[in-house]
Amino acid sequence: MLDLKLIRRDPDGVRASLARRGDGSAERLDDLLRLDEEWRSATATAEAERARQKAAGEQIAAAKGKGEDASAAIAEMKAVADRVKEQTARAKAAEDELQGLLRSLPNLTDPTAAPQDTVVREWGEATKTGRDHLELAGERIDMERGARLSGSRFAYLRGDLARLELTLVSWALDKLAGHGFEAVVPPVLVREEALYGTGFLPDTEQQIYHLPADDLYLVGTSEVALASLHAGEIVEGLPLRYAGFSPCFRREAGAAGKDTRGIFRVHQFDKVEMFSFVEPSASADEHERILSIEEEILQELEVPYRVVNIAVDDLGASAAKKFDCEAWLPGQGRYRELTSCSNTTDYQARRLDIRFRPDGGKPETLHTLNGTAVAVQRTLIALLENGQQEDGSVALPEVLRPYGAPSSLPSALG
């Protein structure tokens, strides 16, 4: 949620920042300012009338104490009470509409967020082409039985590929612990306010699984649960950094084709997610820090990638700026998104009422950031396709050996 005080103080700056998104949110700012003025005006009028009401009450009491006629004062008090009720209702209506409009606005954009997708740098040799992950995995990725069980875009991971997932997760959590992230296994069923707090509602309803009988939602990322870990709190000891591991669920859209072949875009997947709570002055540096960890992971996994500064008109509602790391997938012969990291500034923290007390002073809203450490299914694709050998076997990165991973997976080709 945006800071209403900032909107009042610098409406032109806020309007210009929102206009970069190209989603029409800037055009709603005039209505918001009008409602804010109406709310404040009605509230001030109601308060003034309440003061008159109190004074009239005192006059009535004094008149009655003296045995004087108080009928005129009583009539005036009734009229004042009616005006108080009218202005209070007017203020409430304006405030409700104002808050609804404020909730609908996305975050302000970082001035350094790119006007269009911009490649920042590349790493590794992105020239290899070859078989895709389904050919290389064979029955270790069982789409047919997954579909029979749950419908399209569900899969069984079997055998050494299932074990490789657990190896990846263990390795990633140890690596993140070395960078100061506390491991967390969070709930994956959350209430509506958690999704609202992170900006997924109202925005991405079409992607979210809802359980109406319990009024709970399945998360599409552990970012939702990690952000709510300190909801309503005044926290101490910033920065606070967490590494959440959880299954994730999304009603992924997409036409039939390479996006929906295999496990690239599935409805259920596993992910290790980084989440940071920091002071506002530290959020830009923290964003770069999270990105550097994502790159470190990809480099140690020997996956060629490029970093993309995501176009400002493609940012989610909560993000002020976002980087994607796109891995080279030989089976598709192109780069595809593997991880992302976003600076959401004070947008989520304001919605979730998470604050800190700088130098023991008055509590202020902090900043939150998130980033994917390992999106397991897509990382498995990248490992399979980039590690493929002529005979169909798959060489695995040296860094996973201490965690029990073999040097290679045997060929699944007949």
Can you give the pLDDT at residue 52? 78
What is the number of domains present in the chain? 2
**Distance in angstroms (rounded) separating the CA atoms of residues 350 and 282:** 17
H-helix segments, 105-158: 133-137, 143-150
Which CATH number is 76's domain given?
A: 1.10.287.40
CB 251 within 8 A of CB 267: yes
**Given 241, 340, 355, 385, which residue is catalytic?**
340
Can you give the pLDDT at residue 258? 63
337 has catalytic annotation: yes
**Given 140, 153, 241, 250, which residue is catalytic?**
250
Which CATH number is 217's domain given?
A: 3.30.930.10
Residues 275-305: pLDDT tens digits? 999 999 999 999 999 999 999 999 999 999 9
Q: Are residues 312 and 367 in the same domain?
A: yes
Q: Is residue 315 part of a domain?
A: yes
Average pLDDT over residues 345-365: 95
In three-state secondary structure terms, 207 is helix
Q: Is residue 307 part of a domain?
A: yes
Q: Are residues 77 and 125 in the same domain?
A: no
Q: Are residues 124 and 254 in the same domain?
A: yes
Q: Are residues 92 and 206 in the same domain?
A: no
Provide φ and ψ at 7, rounded to 5°. -60, -40
**Distance in angstroms (rounded) separating the CA atoms of residues 351 and 264:** 32
**Given 86, 337, 364, 411, which residue is catalytic?**
337
**Distance in angstroms (rounded) separating the CA atoms of residues 363 and 384:** 49
Q: Are residues 142 and 52 in the same domain?
A: no
**Given 20, 140, 241, 378, which residue is catalytic?**
378
**Distance in angstroms (rounded) separating the CA atoms of residues 399 and 364:** 42
334 has catalytic annotation: no
Closest CA to 242 of 278, 267, 196: 278
Q: Which span out of 73-82, 205-214, 388-397 was modeled with the highest average pLDDT? A: 388-397
Q: Are residues 81 and 185 in the same domain?
A: no
Residues 100-147: pLDDT tens digits? 999 999 999 999 999 999 999 999 999 999 999 999 999 999 999 999
Query: Domain boundary residue among 50, 80, 104?
Result: 104
- The boundaries of the domain holding residue 59 are 4-104
Q: Are residues 256 and 176 in the same domain?
A: yes
Q: Is residue 109 part of a domain?
A: no
Closest CA to 41 of 87, 100, 101: 87
Query: Domain boundary residue among 104, 127, 160?
Result: 104
Q: Are residues 99 and 126 in the same domain?
A: no
Q: Is residue 111 part of a domain?
A: no
Q: Are residues 87 and 141 in the same domain?
A: no
Query: Domain boundary residue among 104, 136, 165?
Result: 104
CB 346 within 8 A of CB 363: no
CB atoms within 10 A of CB 271: 25
265 has catalytic annotation: yes
Q: Are residues 210 and 321 in the same domain?
A: yes
Residues 38-96: pLDDT tens digits? 999 999 998 888 887 777 677 667 766 666 666 776 777 788 788 888 899 999 999 99
In three-state secondary structure terms, 86 is helix
**Given 265, 289, 336, 351, which residue is catalytic?**
265
127: left (phi over 0), alpha (psi -120 to 50) or beta: alpha
**Distance in angstroms (rounded) separating the CA atoms of residues 237 and 231:** 16
Q: Are residues 296 and 175 in the same domain?
A: yes
Q: Are residues 55 and 129 in the same domain?
A: no
340 has catalytic annotation: yes
Residues 218-275: pLDDT tens digits? 999 999 999 999 999 999 999 999 999 999 999 976 555 667 789 999 999 999 999 9
CA 58 vs CA 53, 55, 72, 74, 241: distances in Å: 9, 5, 13, 11, 58
CA-only gyration radius of the chain, Å: 28
Can you give the pLDDT at residue 252? 72
What number of residues does the chain have? 414
